[in-house]
Amino acid sequence: MAFEEKGWRGATFEHVSERAGVTRGALHHHFRSKAVLLEEALTWGWAEYGNRLFRNSETTLSALLTKFVTLVRDDALFRALAASTVLVAPQALSDRAEKNAALDTWRAQIAATLPSTGEADPETVAGLVLVLLQGLTVTAVTRPDDLPQPDELSATMTALARGLLT
C-alpha cells in the first residue's frame, strides 16, 4: 500500500516501515533493497490473490472474471497490488522473467477452468483472458468508474465469458 500511496520514489524505507508498523532496521533486515521488497511483495500478493481466484477447481470463466473485477474494485489491498504492478514496478524492476513465469502459471490455471468445447482452443482463450485481466487491472488504477458496477457485473461477465469461449 505504501507503493500505491507514494509511488516508487516516495515509498522510502522510512515510509514503508512506518506504514507496516515496524522499524526501518527490521525492514532492512528482511529486505536488502527497496527493489527486493517490491518484487517480493508483488510475488506474494499475486500468489495470494491467485490462490483466492483459483481456489475452487470448478470455477467457471464467468465466475473468475466476476471475482477478479470485484476484488480489484472493492479490495483496497488488491487494488494497491494492481496499482503497484501497473505504475510502480515498471519504474523499479527490470527483470521480467519472474513476472512472465507468474503469468504463465495464471494462463495454465485459466486454461484448466475452461471447458473443452471444440469451438475455441483453451490455451488461446486463456491468453486472451490474461490480456483482459491485465486491461482490467490498468482500468482499476486509471479509470475505476469504467469497471462494471455490482448490479451489472454478473450479466456482463457472463456475456463476456460466452463471447470468449465461442
Q: How much is the pLDDT for 166?
A: 78
pTM: 0.84
Q: Please say whether the beta carbons of 137 and 70 come within 8 A.
A: no
User: Mind listing the pLDDT tens digit for each residue in 64-90?
Assistant: 999 999 999 999 999 999 888 888 888
Q: Binning pLDDT at 50, 70 and 90, where does residue 116 land?
A: confident
Single-letter code of the amino acid located at 21: G
pLDDT above 90: residue 145: yes
